[in-house]
């Protein structure tokens, strides 16, 4: 008989794509995912899986390159850099209109109510609204206003929501922590993109000319982190107002934890925040890392799958193929150890 799994998918920005690889590996081994609780990107991936549309979602995100991601950015100047209507509009097209109580398995999305300073569990009602509220990353996505409540990313209070599945009566609780600091031997795999993808980014960078006093590394970070429009003409004023980092040391392959870019042509080194937005989100990640450890200590899962947070920056949503592959690799190693111990 298949073992029934209660799956907990944690918060971690773009690293949430690793959840897809984890789910694929769990299913490949014959486990039955019987319920899901998720926070932020964990709630998005978990909700799409519970709706039976994970394959379609994966096909879409794996098709995105740098500029495709930028075209999904709808810039906001109120309470967040991005309104999120384009991204979640595409997710709505994939999933359709469905309520949580109509999903094939029990599902919980965790958000944070800033008004009442408390954790909110979505276990019924509109799936789309639940995912959007749970993934409203402070400073990146605008919050969801629901009545007198202001809802933002659940990771603010509970980046690894184990409690909602404790009473599920499943055989195993498997939790996926995207903010691990102790998995130094794992590296983000390099997956080559078609040359046309790389050329499109190269042409955009070159077209900025003298307005871009940065190396390629900083150019990529600015494009993603500042949530700019996809047209080069709209990027210029943001670039001109940014502070140059010309004196920053060149990236080195020896820098531990510096992940390869999606094209494999340059390295992003994590030497510090590249912008105010990056500073805020690095601070948010530090807080999530600490909170996740408390949640794990309070309610230890049967299996803990740790994805190192150093493998990519919070905003690198164009690295879906690499992160999915990494999630599958880490899940495989973790489940191998668990199953070996039970033999």
Q: Are 32 and 169 in contact (CB under 8 A)?
A: no
At 312, list the tokens.
Answer: 């990519």
Q: Return d(Cα 306, Cα 294) in angstroms, integer.
A: 15
Q: Which is the catalytic residue, given 134, 139, 153, 332?
A: 153
Q: Which of 11, 40, 168, 261 is catalytic?
A: 40
Closest C-alpha to 188, from 307, 66, 68, 286:
307
Task: Establish how many alpha carbons lie within 13 A of residue 224's alpha carbon, considering only the half-sphere containing its beta carbon.
Answer: 25
Helix, strand, coil shares of the chain, percent, nearest 5, are: 45, 15, 40
Q: Clarify whether 40 is annotated catalytic.
A: yes
Contacts with 335 (C-beta within 8 Å, 6 or more apart), sequence order: 25, 26, 29, 303
Active site residue 261: no
The sign of the dihedral angle between the CA atoms of 302, 307, 309, 313 is negative
Query: Please, is 333 exposed, middle or buried when counting C-beta atoms within 10 Å of its C-beta (0-12, 13-18, 19+)?
Result: middle
What angle, 0 to 180 degrees and rounded to 10, lies between the N-to-C axes of helices 41-50 and 127-134? 160
**Active centre residues (catalytic):** 40, 153
């Amino acid at each position: 008989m298949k073992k029934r799994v209660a799956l907990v998918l944690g918060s971690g920005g773009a690293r949430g794509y690793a959840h897809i690889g984890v789910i694929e590996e769990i299913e490949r081994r014959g486990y039955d995912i019987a319920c899901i609780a998720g926070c932020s990107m964990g709630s998005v991936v978990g909700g799409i899986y519970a709706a039976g549309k994970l394959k379609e979602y994966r096909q879409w995100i794996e098709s995105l390159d740098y500029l495709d991601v930028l075209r999904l950015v709808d810039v906001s100047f109120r309470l967040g850099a991005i309104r999120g209507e384009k991204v979640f509009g595409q997710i709505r097209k994939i999933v359709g209109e469905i309520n949580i109580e109509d999903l094939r398995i029990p599902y919980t999305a965790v958000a944070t109510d800033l008004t009442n300073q408390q954790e909110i569990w979505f276990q019924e009602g509109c799936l789309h609204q639940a995912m959007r509220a749970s993934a409203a990353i402070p400073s990146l996505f605008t919050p969801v206003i629901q009545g007198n409540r202001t809802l933002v990313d659940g990771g603010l209070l509970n980046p690894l929501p184990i409690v909602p599945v404790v009473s599920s009566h499943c055989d195993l609780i498997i939790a996926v922590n995207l903010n691990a600091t102790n998995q130094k031997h794992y590296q983000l795999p390099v997956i080559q993109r078609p040359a046309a993808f790389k050329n499109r980014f190269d042409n955009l960078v070159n077209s900025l000319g003298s307005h871009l006093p940065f190396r390629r590394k900083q150019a990529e970070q600015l494009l993603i982190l500042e949530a700019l429009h996809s047209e080069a003409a709209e990027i210029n004023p943001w670039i001109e107002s940014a502070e140059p980092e010309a004196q920053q040391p060149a990236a080195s392959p020896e820098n531990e934890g510096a992940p390869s870019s999606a094209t494999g042509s340059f390295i992003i080194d994590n030497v510090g925040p590249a912008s105010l937005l990056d500073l805020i989100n690095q601070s948010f990640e530090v807080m999530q890392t600490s909170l996740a450890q408390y949640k794990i200590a309070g309610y230890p899962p049967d299996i803990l799958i740790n994805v190192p947070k150093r493998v990519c920056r919070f905003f690198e949503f164009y690295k879906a193929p690499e992160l999915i592959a990494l999630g599958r690799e880490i899940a495989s190693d973790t489940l191998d150890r668990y199953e070996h111990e039970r033999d």
